[in-house]
Each structure stands twice: as structure tokens, then as C-alpha cells.
Amino acid sequence: MFWSKDDIVERLSKIPRTLEDISIDIFEGVPPANDLVYKTDLSKEHCIDATSGCRNPQTNISVEQVSIEKELMYPYIDGSASGEFAIPSEQYRFMLPYEILGYNIRKEYRIIQPEELKTKFPIAYNQLMEAKQNSETGKQNLDSADCYRLEDESFLQYIKTPKIIVTSNYRLRASYDVKGKHVFSEGIGVVLGDPTLYHYITAVLNSSIARALPEIWNRENMQSKNQLNSRMLKRFPIEFPKKQITETLISTICRYLIYLNRQKQTARDYSIPGYQKLIDFYRRIADLLILDTYITNDLDPKFLEILAENITASGEEFEYSDDINLLIGLQEIKKNILESASFRECRFNSEFTNILATLKNNGAW
């Protein structure tokens, strides 16, 4: 069967389960136009400790760089530094004059009042004061916490809660924030009901299947100026493999890709060959497994057996290790798969090539 764009979109549109159905919440991050944005630059040109740039987007006022108490600072990413599988390397931090309370999935929080802020966090207080004085109001003091309250505080309830952060720059990019400590803007946070699904869902959101989503949005009149919002992402169709081994393989490959993308980020300053080829190899396997789950359901059982024999998890949270031996191990796994005698006997339906080509041909969409 030849799969056209319409065939693929129709098949995906009919999947009844959506990302919203398996999520506790899907939400926007910190408003990018918040009155007071505090970002700490961690690039090499600045002190790594905590030099902070404060800017009021409405008045375009730049404030002198100073150190801000680390208790109020959180890793920060925006759409320009979106990651794929792995959270991008930290370049900025974001100041939150709030106390995050409790250890539940959905946290409580309280804004720190001016007098307490002045006593416990004087540097942060002074920066907020200076920004306020330079604002259009020209007030000389912080008479209430409303002077620096975020326009939308709802994302604060998921600080320190594991989540997937999804951005859209030409296509979806999903990264797994395992500690949940990142503040993000120009993106969507996804908190799942079942924490064991984070790797599988991250892989699906990064797969070729996601390329069909804009067409579904258009057909259902959900597109919003090409800017991703929570309502659009909630519509993402979710299908699970009929065989548990397939879901395990996809989840494990996601962990491989988290490790490889993390190592690729840290290797920018020096050359280590093979990262991108290895990333592409495991992405292609994940794509095959996900396409089979969503559309074809006729992958050669021999292929699954070969993958199951070789693709295994080497330890708890190995993907966050910096051990270079893991890279060598992933290269060896690739070699073992390709050189397996049974692999040469595997039959791949021509539908896979057709579907991938249709999904990846931007001109078709």
C-alpha cells in the first residue's frame, strides 16, 4: 500500500487516546513577556558563580550584572536553546522570588514578601528594587510582593517535578527534565500520570510521527500563528505497542539518545567522531519501532529479537553518566546489530520507506 499524506493523517487522527489522557497536566512555562526577567549568564565570558543580567522587556532597561543568591536561581531554557531528548547545556539561570513547598507532584508555593526578601536575600531584593525604580512607574520601593509577582504563576506548581519540556522550532523537540528544576519559556511542560512512561513518550514526541501533527491541527482549526500551545499538544495521539518488548526497546533507545545528546553537547569544544552517526542510527531504529506501533504493525519478528538481544539498559540512570566507556558500548551494540547473521535475513516492508519519506518530505506538508 502507498501511504499518502492524507492516509497518514487520517490514521493518526482516528487514534482515540491523546497526550492529555495520560497526563496530569500540560502547561505553558514562564511568560516570555513577564515584567521582570532575571537571567544569569553562565557562558565563558562571565563569572560562572552567578553574574546576573536583569532586563525589563517593556522598557528595555539593562541592569548592572551582580551576584544573586543561589537559593532563588533555577536553570533556564527558552525556545532558542531547545533540546532534543536531553535538556540543553545550562547557559542561563532564572530568579524566582518564591518558596517552593512540599514534595508532591503538584507543589504549593508562596511568594517571598519584600521584608523577608530584604533580610534573607538582600542582593535579589536590591536588584528588584533597582529594576522597579527604572520602570515606567518610577517607584522608589517595593511596597508589596505584587511589584515582582509573575504574571502567570501556574507553572510554579511543577518546579522540582519530573516533566517533558517540548518546544517547536520548525518541528517538535522534546527533552526529559528528570529533576524538574528547569524554568522554561516558549515551550510546553508535560507531567505524566505514569512516571514509567517518560522515556517512551519523549521518544514518540521526537519521532517522525510528530511531523504529521501540524496537519492535524490545521484540519481541526487548532493552529495558532505557528506557535505551540498546550491545547495543541494535548491533541497529540498516543498509541502503545502491542508487545511490551517494543515499548521497552523504545524507552531504552530514548535513554541511549539522552546520553548521546548530553555527550554531544559537552563535546562541542573538542572533536570526538561518531556522535552524530550513532545518534542517527538509534533514531532510525526508534522511528521504525514507533511507525510500526502507530501505523503498520508488521515488523519482522526477527528484527525485534535482534534488538532485544542487544539493546539493554546498563544501569540505573546511566544516561546521566559522563563515562566515555558507555559511548564505546553503544558503538559496539550498533556493530553487533548490523553484523548479526539474522539481521541480513530480516525483511523490511517497503511501506516503512514510503511512510518515512512522506513524513520527512517538508514539501508534502
pLDDT per residue as tens digits for the range 190-226: 999 999 999 999 999 999 999 888 888 888 887 666 6
| C-beta of residue 287 within 8 angstroms of C-beta of residue 207 | yes
Does 297 have pLDDT greater than 60? yes
The domain spans of the chain are 5-26+199-364, 33-77+97-149
Query: pTM of whole model > 0.85?
Result: yes
* Mean pLDDT, rounded, for 109-132: 90
Cα 212 to Cα 8: distance, rounded to the nearest angstrom: 8
Cα 343 to Cα 290: distance, rounded to the nearest angstrom: 19
Backbone angles phi, psi at 330, to 5 degrees: -70, -35
Backbone angles phi, psi at 245, to 5 degrees: -60, -35
Does 57 have pLDDT greater than 60? no
Kindly indicate the confidence band of residue 108, based on its pLDDT and cuts at 50, 70 and 90.
Answer: very high
| C-beta of residue 279 within 8 angstroms of C-beta of residue 268 | no
Please write the tens of the pLDDT for every residue from 253-287. Answer: 999 999 999 988 776 645 566 778 899 999 999 99
Cβ partners under 8 Å of residue 347, min gap 6:
300
Higher pLDDT, 182 or 299: 182
pLDDT at res. 47? 35
Higher pLDDT, 297 or 44: 297
Please write the tens of the pLDDT for every residue from 308-343. Answer: 999 998 777 889 888 888 989 999 999 999 998 888
Higher pLDDT, 170 or 21: 21
DSSP state of 18: B
Lowest mean pLDDT among 166-175, 200-209, 324-333, 354-363: 354-363
Grid cell at residue 304? 525485534
Share of the chain above pLDDT 90, in %: 45
* Mean pLDDT, rounded, for 174-193: 94
pLDDT at res. 360? 61
* Mean pLDDT, rounded, for 243-258: 96
Torsion of CA 256, 257, 258, 264, to 10 degrees: 110
pLDDT at res. 143? 83
Neighbour count for residue 251 (Cβ, 10 Å): 19
Please write the tens of the pLDDT for every residue from 68-86. Answer: 888 999 998 877 666 789 9
pLDDT at res. 52? 47
Does 26 have pLDDT greater than 90? yes
| First CA to last CA distance, the chain | 20
Does 3 have pLDDT greater than 60? yes
pLDDT at res. 42? 46
The dihedral sign for the CA sequence 63, 66, 70, 74:
positive
